[in-house]
Structure formats: structure tokens, C-alpha cells
Amino acid sequence: MRVVRQTSTQLTLRLVPWLLWLMGGIFTGAGLMVWLALGGETVFECTRTAPAQCELTQSNPLGSRSRTFSLAGLQQAEVETHRNSDGDHTYRVVLTTDQGVVPLTNAYSSGNGFHQNRAAQINQFIQSPAAASLRIHQDDRWIGLLFLVLFSGTGLALMLVVGKVVTCDFDKSMGQLTFTKRGLLGAETVQHPLHHLVSVTLQRSSGSKGGNTYRLALGLKTGETLPLTSYYDSGKRDKEKTANAIRSFLGLSASRDWHEDPMMTLAQVGNVMNLVVGGKGKRQETIANCQNQIRQDPCNADAYYTLAMALVMQGEKEQARQVLEAGQTRCMQNGDQEKALRLNQAIGQFGLKV
């Protein structure tokens, strides 16, 4: 996201998702190519009645072509094997004729047994003069359509649904934030008073292999967050630079990074184990301890979190939601917006949103 306009009263940021558009184009193109290559239909027919010939018709989404040769020129069918760079094998049936080798299908596919049976069926017809005709039909159009839906569908979703141009306009003269997401399917605009913005956070998402991706989010007085994008990506330094520009313009203090769905700390993991192993007695003890901690510190986010966890384990979800909402309100009253945001996200983490 880059600054496109900055004055003493206005800051305008814009994100053009070039990478998503490129990835979407690649996926869409790959789906189309596989659809054209594999989404074909083959019909091979031979007859011994005059003029005793064979006809091979191959069709794909771009059209069809037929090839005819004499039955006497059909010598045998065999399976041709292709090995890729990973060592995997795919197969296709080829016909040996007086006109040369003719592939039954253009594309290779898996299933050696299937192709061996097809070749045996053709060879049996060649060796059986009593057999009047042979017809083989292979319809691979569903394979092409499957790849078209998976790849091209994903690519179009990236370009049309996820890959939207995002514009954030902070206007002090109007006292308003105008947040717009614009795509080929239309535009969506959200507005908030500037005095409702209390923080700018860099949300972090950890991948299964340990890598981190990020996105910017605006914290509101209500405890809600307004992510600037629906997805996470790399480029932490650029996002930090953008966050600092927004904070500087609005006069906000820096906030530490946090997860959109807060991951439990080691201490909280230990609490979960104790609550599970200790049973109802341990949960009652934990509830009493957390309530005592909250009386001493009305904005103890960890105590609210653990108390809500214990209540959820006892099936008291409504009470757990009320506890987290009360903690969120108290933290906001104390001016600790970051803890209020964490407790708001905990409501979603425990599945307590209404």
C-alpha cells in the first residue's frame, strides 16, 4: 500500500494487487491449457464390411479432426509409456498402421491396466476375422472440465473476489475515514469517523512451516478491527512503514504485532491442560482465582481469557461471552485499546459472537 496523496489534512493510501492479478492470470491460463489438452473425446471405429476401414475421430474444445485408414493397414496396438522428471509414469495407446504410428489419444494419462485392456481389445479384433466391427469411445472431457473449474475458477476468484483495489482516505477536514474496495464486480465503501480510530496494528499469521505473513488493520473504539485486506502476504517492512504513516497522521501510538485470532501463550496452554486434567474442581478453582485477579486489576486480559475458557469448558458460553465483553468495556474505559481488541478477538476465537 503506497501513499498517493498526503497533506496536512488528508492522507490517501492505495493498494493495487498486481501480484494477485498475476497469480490469478497464471491459474486461469493453466486451467484453460489443461482443459484444451486433456478435455477431449476420442472415437475409434473399424468395420470389416466394404470398404473395410478404420476411422479415428479426436475432438477437443477447439474442434475435431478425423483420420481414416484401411483395416488391412492396421497392424497392432500397444501401450506407450511416458516418464516425467519425478519418475512418474503415464500411458497412451498407439496404433501401428501402414501410414505410421498413430496415437489413439493426444494426451498421456495414468492407469496402465486400463490402457493395456484397450490395446488388447484392438489386437483381439485384428486377430479375429469373425468380428464384424469395433468401436472404442474414450471421453476425457470431464477431466478437462475438472481442471478448468479448479485452476481457472481459483484464478478468477483471486482476480475478481480477492484482488480488489483498496483505497483508504483519511480526511481531517471532514473528520472521516473512507475505505473503498473496488473490483470488476463493483465497489464496496465503508466510512468511519476519524475519532473512532484508536490503533493501527500489524496482524500476523503463522504458516504451518513457521513462516509469517502480515496485513494491516485499524482498531476501532468499539473493539472491532478493520483489516485493510482480506488476505495476509509478505512485505512486513513496507507494511510497518505504512502503519507508521497512518499513526503519524492521526497522532496514534505504536502497537505491538498480534495475531488476528490470538494464539495461546505457553502459560495459557498450561492452563488448558490443567483445566482438562483437573476436571470440574480445577475449573471452579480457576474461576475463583481469575475473578479475584480481575477485582485487583479490572483490565487483566489474561485473567478474562482464562476465566472465559473455564466457563466455555463448563458449557456456560453465554456467561463466558459476557465476561469477555465486560473485560473489553473496562479496558476501553482504562484507555488500554490493545487489550480491548484482544478480548474482542477472543470472543470470536471461542465462537461466542452473536
Residue 143's pLDDT is 81
Here the CATH number for the domain that contains residue 180 is 2.30.29
Q: What are the counts of helices (DSSP H) followed by strands (DSSP E) for the chain? A: 9, 16
Question: What pLDDT is recorded for position 312?
Answer: 84
Residues 176 and 89 in one domain: no
Measure the CA–CA gap between 152 and 33, rounded to whole angstroms: 10
> How many domains does the structure of the chain reveal?
3
Rounded average pLDDT over 303-312: 86
Note the pLDDT tens digit of each residue in 273-287. 566 556 778 788 888
Q: Once rounded to an integer, what is the mean pLDDT over residues 11-26? A: 91
> Are residues 64 and 106 located together in one domain of the fold?
yes
Is residue 30 assigned to a domain? no
- Domain check: are 176 and 124 in the same one? no
Question: Is there a single domain that holds both residue 182 and residue 94?
Answer: no
Verify that 254 and 276 share a domain, yes or no: no
Residue 75 forms part of a structural domain: yes
pLDDT reported for residue 272? 55
Least confident of 10-24, 134-148, 178-192, 340-354: 340-354
- Find the CATH number of the domain harbouring 339: 1.25.40
**Same-domain pairing of 129 and 182:** no
Residue 333, domain member (yes or no):
yes
For residue 43, pLDDT beyond 80: yes
Q: End of a domain among 242, 259, 276?
A: 259
pLDDT value, residue 263: 40
Q: Mark which of 259, 294, 326 sits at the end of a domain.
A: 259
Neighbours of 25 (CB within 10 A): 14
What is the mean pLDDT of the segment spanning 344-351? 75
Considering the domain architecture, whether residues 173 and 125 belong to the same structural domain is answered as no
Residue 147 resides in a domain: no
ω before 51 within 30° of 0 (cis)?
Answer: yes
Domain contains 46: yes
Name the burial class of residue 187, with classes exposed (0-12), middle (13-18) and buried (19+) by CB atoms within 10 angstroms of its CB: exposed
Residue pair 343/327 in contact (Cβ under 8 Å)? The answer is: yes
Are residues 275 and 201 both part of a single domain? no
Cα 81 from Cα 119, distance rounded (Å): 13
Is 171 part of any domain?
Answer: yes
- Is there a single domain that holds both residue 46 and residue 130? yes
Average pLDDT over residues 31-51: 88
Mean pLDDT estimate for the chain: 85
Q: What is the pLDDT of residue 44?
A: 94
pLDDT level of residue 261 (50, 70, 90 thresholds): very low
| DSSP codes of every residue in 199-248 | EEEEEEEE-TTS-EEEEEEEEETTS-EEESSSS-BS-HHHHHHHHHHHHH
| Secondary structure, 3-state, 279-296 | HHHHHHHHHHHHHHHHHH
**Residue 252, domain member (yes or no):** yes
Domain enclosing residue 219, as ranges: 2-17+164-259
The verdict on residue 236 lying in a domain is: yes
C-alpha dist (Å) from residue 72 to 46, 97, 118, 119 = 11, 9, 19, 17
Share of the chain above pLDDT 70, in %: 90
Where does the pLDDT of residue 183 fall: very low under 50, low under 70, confident under 90, or very high at 90 and above? confident
Res. 116: pLDDT tops 80: yes
- Decide which of 259, 288, 320 is a domain's last residue: 259
Q: Are residues 182 and 128 in the same domain?
A: no
**pLDDT at residue 174 in the model:** 93
Q: How confident is the model over 12-36, as a mean pLDDT?
A: 90
More confident call, 139 vs 208: 139
Q: What is the structure's pLDDT at 207?
A: 66
